[in-house]
Structure 1
Amino acid sequence: MTSTDSSTDASADRVWFITGASRGLGRAFTEAALQAGDRAVAVARTTEDLAPLSAEYGARLLVLGTDVTDRAAVRQTVDTAARHFGRLDIVVNNAGFLAMGMLEEFGEEQARAQMETNFFGALWVSQAVLPWLRAQGSGHIVQVSSIAALGGFASTGMYSASKFALEGMSEALAAEAAPFGVKVTIVQPGGYWTGLYTAGLTATEPLDAYAPLRAELEKRFAEESVDSMPALAAEALMKLVDSDDPPLRLLLGSRVYDLAFDVSRERMTTWAAWEETSRAAEQAVPAPEGHGL
């Protein structure tokens, strides 16, 4: 696979492919890449807000309008981007939104929509870029997950489900891509002022039965929420992609860092308490008749 665009600058540095690039973390990542002298492909459903960046950075920025839930469109977009710049180096799967509500309140359409963008969108992009990255023998796929992937939390259960699915897929992707020189990192951000709770938010029709719990959660969010500017996440991302040995997982923020350790300790304590029952549930025996390999 080679470039068909001879006008691209062969001396330019890395080429980024960033989804959800029009606002929030995606916008901050795009700006950081361009400010570092790299080239970038900014992908979003609506691209009007990216016009100022196009005017400022010219040929180093390619803006493409794409819905990541459309697998065929994603593949076409990736191929267009790779041929335009001649390669892809860093792929950031950032597109996503938050569907908020108690699990009982979700209809099928809302539940599937959450998975279509947050999980399947990242899967389609990952599938589409792999042929290019494998052919190069290099590349770095960054999957933007969430603090919500550390556990299931009341009122964000479907969002957590989408991010749990993303992380499970990404762990397998890391193992499958490594032999080809392609790296994968799951980034787990805490709170940032990204518009996730406004433009990126949908909500279920509330059931009266959950009113007390919803009021308790709103009070807790107001008192405990810690949100930072997206530029800080972009600084961390630049350190990540500059590393010769990037981790499989990277936590962004003190709150998510502390929560990750708290959740891990709690799980280990529970597993230890039930160790006897767990171990008793396993005993190797020959394969029953008809169950052989």
Structure 2
Amino acid sequence: MGSVVAQPIETTRSTTGNAILLAVKLDVTSRADAEAAVRAAVDRFGRIDVLVNNAASFYAGYFEELTPEQMERQLAASLIGPMNVTRAVLPVMRKQRSGRIISISSSAGLSGFEFGTAYAASKFGLEGFMDSLHAEVAPFGITTTIVNPGFFRTELLTEQSTNYAEPSIQDYDERRAKMLEFWKAQNGNQSGDPAKLARALIAIASQELPSRRFIAGADAIGTAQQRVADLKAQIETFRGLSTSLAFDEGKGS
């Protein structure tokens, strides 16, 4: 079961032609939609084996120029939305004592980036949610997998899916122009093939014990490796200070 908002349901139905596929209306920010979609899937197929949380939007811009409403909409689509759908699916999977929950994060869930405060915040939140949920549902035979894709040629950077902050602070003018040029140039030129990623996710979902994380794409691997290196360096820089912070037990004041 995937959460799809990128194209109208009529388009989804007309392009599939698959007798075993059920297309339903699902706005992931609506708990009622999520619950109705789950009921429809169970009524049709009797069970739900895999949930893929993949609905997304991109609110791009400098934090000071993004409105609070834009921040909330980003969190609603990329964090609260997956929570809504997962909450609706979990009773079904618990009853089955089995299930796979795959959540599409991003390399932005590993490392934040300039012009991406809203997006990275939503993805870091999604990862914390999935990491914590794993321990809660594993006893029921339910697994969770976080997927960190790099740049894949999806609809995320199209005009329909990307929302840019309105310029409002002169201090950001020069850098904003460069950021806008960069992001608009990425649309349609991403190196990752989403069809190959979809096949990889099918393979992961079919594993007896799926990996808890899948770094997808050479660029995402580079981001992950740099993040690991940065963390190691920061640990070593402050190791002495960090390990000196316990109470001095047995010593007088």
1:284 to 1:160, Cα distance in 2 relative to 1, 3 A:
farther
Q: Does the 8 Å CA contact 2:204/2:210 hold for their aligned counterparts? A: yes
1:51 to 1:80, Cα distance in 2 relative to 1, 3 A:
closer
1:22 to 1:110, Cα distance in 2 relative to 1, 3 A:
closer
Letter in 1 for 2:74: Q
Shift of 1:214: 2.2
Of the structure 1 ranges 200-209 and 249-258, higher mean CA displacement relative to structure 2 is found in 200-209
Aligned partner of 2:226 in structure 1 is 262
**1:18 correspondence with 2:8:** no
1:163 to 1:283, Cα distance in 2 relative to 1, 3 A:
same
Shift of 1:215: 3.6
Q: Does the 8 Å CA contact 1:97/1:117 hold for their aligned counterparts? A: yes
- Once the two structures are superposed, what CA deviation does each residue of 1:120-155 show, in whole Å capped at 9, x if it has no partner? 000011111111001001110000101111111110
Aligned partner of 1:57 in structure 2 is 18
Q: Does the 8 Å CA contact 1:22/1:47 hold for their aligned counterparts? A: no
Aligned partner of 1:7 in structure 2 is none
**1:47 correspondence with 2:9:** yes
Aligned partner of 1:291 in structure 2 is none
Of the structure 1 ranges 248-257 and 205-214, higher mean CA displacement relative to structure 2 is found in 205-214
Aligned partner of 2:35 in structure 1 is 75
Unpaired segments ≥5 residues, structure 2: none
Paired with 1:284 and 1:124, the residues of 2 have a C-alpha distance of 46
Aligned partner of 1:237 in structure 2 is 201
1:272 to 1:90, Cα distance in 2 relative to 1, 3 A:
same
- Once the two structures are superposed, what CA deviation does each residue of 1:206-264 show, in whole Å capped at 9, x if it has no partner? 233212222444566659x7422211111211221121121110011001012101111
Say which SS state the counterpart of residue 95 (structure 1) adopts.
Answer: coil
Residue 201 (structure 1) aligned to one of 162, 170, 180: 162
Shift of 1:203: 1.0
Matches within 5 A, 1:95-134: 95-134=55-94
Paired with 1:105 and 1:203, the residues of 2 have a C-alpha distance of 9
Shift of 1:181: 0.3
Letter in 1 for 2:208: D
Paired with 1:219 and 1:21, the residues of 2 have a C-alpha distance of 26
Shift of 1:80: 2.0
Paired with 1:153 and 1:76, the residues of 2 have a C-alpha distance of 36
Aligned partner of 1:86 in structure 2 is 46
Say which SS state the counterpart of residue 140 (structure 1) adopts.
Answer: strand
**1:212 correspondence with 2:174:** yes
Larger strand percent: 1
Shift of 1:53: 3.4
Paired with 2:195 and 2:5, the residues of 1 have a C-alpha distance of 13
Paired with 1:96 and 1:259, the residues of 2 have a C-alpha distance of 20
Say which SS state the counterpart of residue 63 (structure 1) adopts.
Answer: coil
TM-score, length-scaled by structure 1: 0.78
Paired with 2:54 and 2:23, the residues of 1 have a C-alpha distance of 15
Aligned partner of 2:146 in structure 1 is 186
Paired with 1:237 and 1:279, the residues of 2 have a C-alpha distance of 41
Letter in 2 for 1:214: R
How large is the RMSD of aligned CA atoms in angstroms? Answer: 2.0
Say which SS state the counterpart of residue 245 (structure 1) adopts.
Answer: coil
Residue 275 (structure 1) aligned to one of 222, 239, 248: 239
Unpaired segments ≥5 residues, structure 1: 1-16, 24-45, 287-293
Letter in 2 for 1:229: D
Give percent identity, aligned residues only. Answer: 33
Q: Does the 8 Å CA contact 2:5/2:27 hold for their aligned counterparts? A: no
State the number of aligned residues: 245
Matches within 5 A, 1:151-162: 151-162=111-122
Paired with 2:182 and 2:78, the residues of 1 have a C-alpha distance of 25
